[in-house]
Structure 1
Amino acid sequence: MNTTLPPRLAILITSANGELSSTLAAMLRRLGLTNTRIARDSAEAFRLLSQSPYDAMIIDNAIGPEDGISVTRRVRLNAAAPNRAMAIVMVSGDMPSEQTREAQDAGIDEFVHLPTTAQTLAARLESAIAAPRPFVVSPTYAGPDRRREETPIDGQDRRTPVNGSPKPS
C-alpha cells in the first residue's frame, strides 16, 4: 500500500482493547510502519512516553484508568514532555459529536471512527504528520491549531509557536 509516511516513524498505540491494538498494529505494518509499541492503559502509555520519543500516538478514547481525552490533555499541557507536539490520532467506535469536539479541544490532531481501514488510518496519519497544522500554546490549550480554515483574527494573536512550528498567520 502506498503512503508518504517515513517507514521509521515511532508510533505508540494506546488501547485497552487487545484486538483493536493488534488490528491497528497490523494496519500499520501493512503500511510499512513497523516501529510500533502498544500501551494497554494510560499508566503504561505515560511510562512509555517518558522513556522514548514518539512521532505519533494512536489512542482509543476508552483506555482506562483515564480516558483518551484526559491523556491527550495531560500530554499536551505538560511543557516538559518530550512528546508534547507529536501527532495524536484518536480512534473510537461510538463517540457523540460533543465528545469529539472535547477531544479536539484537548489537542488531538485527527479522529478516526471505527471500524476503519488501513487507507483511512494512513490518510489521518499523513494529515497529522506530513502536513501538520501549526502547534500552538495558550494558557488553557496546547496542540494543533484547531482552525481548519485560514480566517483573520480579531485583535492580537496570542498563540505561541512551539518546537519550531511556524506561527499561524
Structure 2
Amino acid sequence: MSTTLPPRLSVLIATANGELSSTLAAMLRRLGLTNTRVARDSAEVFRLLSQSPYDAMIIDNAIGPEDGIAVTRRVRLNAAAPHRGMAVVMVSGDMPPEQGREAQDAGIDEFVRLPATAQILASRLESAIATPRPFVVAPDYAGPDRRRQEEPIDGEDRRAPINRSPKAP
C-alpha cells in the first residue's frame, strides 16, 4: 500500500482491547510502519510517553481508567511535555456526536470510526502528520486549530497569532 508516511514514524497504540491493538499494529505494518508500541491503559500511556518520544498516538476512547479524551487533554495541556505536539488519532466504534466534539476540544487531530481499513487509517495519519493544522496554545486548550476551513471574520480578529511550535505559550 502506498503512503507518504515516513517509515521511521514512531507510533503509540493506546487501547485496552488486545484484538484492536493487534489489528491496528497489523494495519501500520501494511503501511510500512514498524516502530510501534502498545499501551493497555492510560497509566501505561504516560509511562511510555515519559520514556520515549512518539510522532503519533492512536488512542481508543475506551482505554481506561482515564478515557482517551482525558488522556489527550492531559498530553496537550502539559506545556513541559516533549510529546505535546504529536499527532493524535482517536479510534472508536461507537461515539455519540457530542463526545466527538469533546474529543476535538481535547485536542485530537483526526478521528477514525471503526471498523476501518488500513487506507482510512493511513489517510488520517497523513492528514495529521504531513499536512497538520496549526498548533494552537490557549489557557484551556492546546492542540490543532479546530477550524478546518478559513472563514472571513467580521470585525477584529482577537485571537493571538497562531504558533506552530507546541512548546511556545
TM-score after normalising by structure 1:
0.94
Could you say what secondary structure the match of 1:146 adopts? coil
Cα shift at 1:28: 0.1
Number of aligned residue pairs: give it: 165
Preserved contact between residue 54 and residue 86 of structure 1 (Cα < 8 Å) = yes
Distance (Å, rounded) in 2 between the aligned partners of 1:157 and 1:69: 25
Partner in structure 2 of residue 141 of structure 1? 141
- Give the conservation status (yes or no) of the 8 Å contact 2:85–2:166: no
**In the alignment, what sits opposite 1:76?**
76
> Does the 8 Å CA contact 1:138/1:160 hold for their aligned counterparts?
no
Residue 128 (structure 2) pairs with residue 128 (structure 1)? yes
1:164–1:57 distance in 2 versus 1, CA, 3 Å: closer
Measure the CA separation in 2 of the matches of 1:164 and 1:136: 7
Deviation of 1:158 (Å) = 2.1
Query: Structure 2, unaligned stretches of length 5 or more?
Result: none
1:141-160 residue pairs with structure 2 within 5 A?
141-153=141-153, 154-155=155-156, 156-158=158-160, 160=162
Shift of residue 157 of structure 1? 2.0
Distance 1:12 1:31 in 2: 15
Gaps of 5+ in 1: none
Report the identity percentage.
Answer: 79
How far apart, CA to CA, are the structure 1 residues paired with 2:44 and 2:144? Answer: 24
**Match for residue 163 of structure 1?**
165
CA shift, 1:162, in A, is 4.5
